[in-house]
Amino acid sequence: MTKCSPPRRVLIVDDHPIVRQGLLRVMQNESDLIVCGETGIASEARTAIRELKPDVLICDIGERQADSIGLVRYVRTHHPQLPILVLSTLDETIYAERLLALGATGYITKQASSEELLASLRRVLDGNIYVSDTIRSNMIHKYAGVASRTLADPVDRLSSRELQVLRLLGEGMSTRETAHSLDLSIKTVESHRQRIKRKLNLKTAVQLLRYAVLASSGMEN
């Protein structure tokens, strides 16, 4: 008989009680997800993460942006393996970019449907990056000029191995995880990443991450 896996534990951080209640209702009938705790204060969330040991964090970015951004920084520093799904009232691309660069693994707006929320939770729990369609569309439009200049045809510019590295980066893998997945050394993966940046005319690691997320989405379609 197959043994069922225990439900994965979700910690909700949102300063609006009604939002927390709504998220709880969305997940209460899902056999693979369970809300292990909730809070509206970032400082309390740090304690809850240590004590409750959630599998994923849903974090609001809204009126108290500084506290929420600080929480994302804290989690990525002290709990680097914990996925963070940002649930925001803000659909501006700049916030999604900033949070992804800081270490968030997903970004959706509060206008998202219950189905999209559940899909995004499961995606980040599986180790991938998730960006809502609205945000992704904005990012694609914003960087369309860069993409057209730097990557008319990915196959022409990147080697097969470089495309593999780019895909895994877009799926949220670290350099170490990518090296393990491809049976390469960390140094070799870093060399591939530098070559990808050079070939695509990307100057920083943040630009590479942005491009990788978009490219990974395109590879899946």
Place of tokens 């040991």: 53
Q: How far is CA 65 from CA 88, 98, 180, 207, 210, in A?
A: 10, 12, 36, 23, 21
Instruction: Evaluate if residue 164 carries a pLDDT over 60.
Output: yes
Give the CATH architecture of domain 145-220: Orthogonal Bundle (1.10)
Token pair belonging to 27 = 């997940």
pLDDT confidence of residue 99: 81
Task: Say whether pLDDT at 57 is over 60.
Answer: yes
Q: Are 154 and 212 in contact (CB under 8 A)?
A: no
Predicted TM-score (pTM) of the model is 0.64
The reported pLDDT for the residue numbered 35 is 96
Instruction: At 30, list the tokens.
Output: 């899902």
Q: What is the mean pLDDT of residues 108-131?
A: 90
| The CATH number, out of the four listed (3.30.70.1070, 3.40.640.10, 3.40.50.2300, 3.90.79.10), of the domain defined by the range 8-139 | 3.40.50.2300
- Cβ–Cβ contacts within 10 Å for residue 166, how many? 24
Cα–Cα distance measured from residue 155 to residue 198, given in angstroms and rounded to the nearest whole number: 15
Residue bearing the bigger pLDDT, 99 or 39:
39
3-state secondary structure 154-196: HHHHCCHHHHHHHHHHHCCCCHHHHHHHHCCCHHHHHHHHHHH
What residue segments make up the domains of the chain, in order of their start?
8-139, 145-220
Task: Tell me, yes or no, if the two domains 8-139 and 145-220 fold the same way.
Answer: no
DSSP per residue, 3-22: PPPPPEEEEEE-S-HHHHHH
* pLDDT interval class at 115 (50, 70, 90): very high
- Residue 155 binned pLDDT confidence (cut-offs 50, 70, 90): very low
Is the pLDDT confidence value at 182 over 70?
yes
